[in-house]
């Protein structure tokens, strides 16, 4: 009787184990053709999607007027400088006000050109702790994760590039002229804005927005999945 009992228990244990494995497997995202995706697969797919966002969308920002003529990311004046802009236009200096806004955006374009490798490296080094949750999240889940995990670090690296860009494109001289001109106007409250800080933050926001554009496209447009990995991984979020 004992000899018969042992094989029966072994078979029962094996069947129970298989059932548990099937339950675990059923909880993992399924890729194309029903293939099970590991967390490593998903993370690799998300990184590729973000890399594609940089390559396809962020590079557009480095062209002349890449910020200035893109209403999605165009850098507008901070509240402190809106009164400066209005006052200059009211006294017939609209061309100077226009030039100031254009040069501010030009500095951001130049900075993104120099800083793209920083974003590429940031994406490469991301560890997706919960890749499945990000994959099955909203249209900007991966971009939001990138932003939350890299914004502080990227700001520190981006800020000196923006400062350098201000000098390279001549924005520093234009804005020095604008501020000096405005502060000489009788009865106005003098201003001394930190434009490097402001443009740094706005330029970063612009980069994240453009990456989000590509992520959304990959999630919703099958034709945007231009590699086998993207097709396999993002098929899981279509279900």
Identify the residue whose tokens are 């939350």: 148
pLDDT value, residue 32: 53
pLDDT value, residue 8: 38
Task: Answer with the residue of higher pLDDT: 185 or 33.
Answer: 185
Q: pLDDT-based confidence at 13, cuts 50/70/90?
A: very low
The rounded mean pLDDT for the chain is 85
Q: pLDDT-based confidence at 90, cuts 50/70/90?
A: very high
Mean pLDDT of 97-126: 91
Mean pLDDT of 151-175: 92
DSSP state of 237: G
Digit-coded pLDDT (tens) for 210-238? 999 999 999 999 999 999 999 999 999 88
pLDDT value, residue 35: 61
User: Cα separation of 142 and 103, whole Å?
Assistant: 32
Mean pLDDT of 194-215: 95
* Domains in the chain: boundaries: 39-238
Report yes or no: 104 and 171 within 8 Å, Cβ to Cβ: yes
Q: pLDDT-based confidence at 26, cuts 50/70/90?
A: very low
pLDDT value, residue 203: 95
Range of lowest pLDDT (10-19, 99-108, 129-138): 10-19
Please say whether the dihedral angle defined by the alpha carbons of residues 184, 185, 191 and 195, taken in this order, is positive or negative: negative
Which of the given ranges, 29-38, 184-193, 210-219, has the highest pLDDT on average?
Answer: 210-219
Q: pLDDT-based confidence at 96, cuts 50/70/90?
A: very high
Q: pLDDT-based confidence at 36, cuts 50/70/90?
A: confident
| CB-based contacts of 183-190 (< 8 A; 24+ apart in sequence) | 185/87, 185/91, 188/87
């Amino acid at each position: 009787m004992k000899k018969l009992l042992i094989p029966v228990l072994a078979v029962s244990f094996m069947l129970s184990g298989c059932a548990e494995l099937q339950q675990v497997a059923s909880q993992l995202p399924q890729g194309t053709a029903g293939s099970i995706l590991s967390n490593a697969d998903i993370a690799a797919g998300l990184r590729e999607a973000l890399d594609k966002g940089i390559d396809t969308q962020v590079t557009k920002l480095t062209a002349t007027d890449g910020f200035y003529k893109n209403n999605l990311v165009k850098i507008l004046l901070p509240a402190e400088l809106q009164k400066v802009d209005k006052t200059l236009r009211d006294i017939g200096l609209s061309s100077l006000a226009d030039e100031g806004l254009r040069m501010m955006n030009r500095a951001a374009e130049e900075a993104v050109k120099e800083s793209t490798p920083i974003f590429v490296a940031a994406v490469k080094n991301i560890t997706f702790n919960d890749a499945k949750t990000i994959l099955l999240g909203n249209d900007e889940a991966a971009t939001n994760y990138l932003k939350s995990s890299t914004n502080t670090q990227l700001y520190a690296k981006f800020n000196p590039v923006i400062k350098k860009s201000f000098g390279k494109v001549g924005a520093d001289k234009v804005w020095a002229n604008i501020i000096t001109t405005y502060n000489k106007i009788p009865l106005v409250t003098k201003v001394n804005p930190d434009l490097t800080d402001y443009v740094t933050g706005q330029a970063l926001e612009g980069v994240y927005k453009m990456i989000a554009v590509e992520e959304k496209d990959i999630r919703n447009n099958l034709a945007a999945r231009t590699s086998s990995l993207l097709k396999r991984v993002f098929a899981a979020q279509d279900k």
